[in-house]
Amino acid sequence: QKEVEQNSGPLSVPEGAIASLNCTYSDRGSQSFFWYRQYSGKSPELIMSIYSNGDKEDGRFTAQLNKASQYVSLLIRDSQPSDSATYLCAVNKAAGNKLTFGGGTRVLVKP
Amino acid sequence: GAVVSQHPSRVICKSGTSVKIECRSLDFQATTMFWYRQFPKKSLMLMATSNEGSKATYEQGVEKDKFLINHASLTLSTLTVTSAHPEDSSFYICSARGWRRAGTGELFFGEGSRLTVL
């Protein structure tokens, strides 16, 4: 079992729709959770961080964390073509400072 | 937010040469930086953790003599790919942790360096 798992996609959504991305992790003691966006040929950029159960909203993005079920999700509302990218889920394990990344989900927003 | 700068963004070299990549934290001090490698359409693979003033910690399978890491100051870490070969061609990305509140440091990435070894 991979430590952090994501569906590789591509996840195709029409412009204006909601894109829903999921991520599961194996270490129950994980404390911090992050979503990064990576455009082709570029380095990842931080979109959201979430540390406690529940929802966290920032603009068109909402992160949801459920530690009991060991999943974290990202919703992108009113999806735009510029949102087309690979979204990486990252988890900070309880021990140490290293982030573990999922394989990423490629999102395609079609006009 | 925190800014991490990486240089060079692209480098092409001949097989057998060494290449140095610099990573700087511009507006914060980073006692720890991380070096990642990414192959096309793959996720980030952590290569090593760079610690200011001490030896780097390498992940399993990463040759420390091949990938030399130096973290001489609180704002600069360097990765040197020694005796580069075509299989070392990859996208190398550094990152540093910026602390907005204790215990929940977010990782910020440099722009990445694309290495092509001919």
A45-95 per-position pLDDT tens digit: 989 999 999 999 999 999 999 999 999 999 999 999 999 999 999 998 765
Distance CA A36, CA B95 (A): 13
B107: pLDDT strictly greater than 90: no
Across the interface, whether the CB atoms of B43 and A51 are under 8 A apart is answered: no
Task: Sort out which chain B residues have CB atoms less than 8 A from A10's CB and list them.
Answer: none
Distance CA A57, CA A28 (A): 24
Confidence of residue A106 (pLDDT cuts 50, 70, 90): very high
Question: How would DSSP label each residue in A3-19?
Answer: SEEE----EEEETTS-E
Q: Three-state DSSP class for B55?
A: coil
**Position A2: which residue type?**
K
What are the start-end ranges of the E strands in chain A?
A: 4-6, 11-14, 19-25, 32-38, 45-50, 54-58, 61-66, 71-76, 85-92, 99-101, 105-110
**CB distance from A31 to chain B under 8 Å?**
yes
B35: pLDDT strictly greater than 80: yes
Distance CA B55, CA B70 (A): 8
**CB distance from A94 to chain B under 8 Å?**
no
B61-64 own/partner pairs: CB under 8 Å, 24+ apart: none
Q: Name which of A31, A97, A101 is nearest B97 (Cβ-Cβ).
A: A97
A102: pLDDT strictly greater than 90: yes
**CB distance from A104 to chain B under 8 Å?**
yes
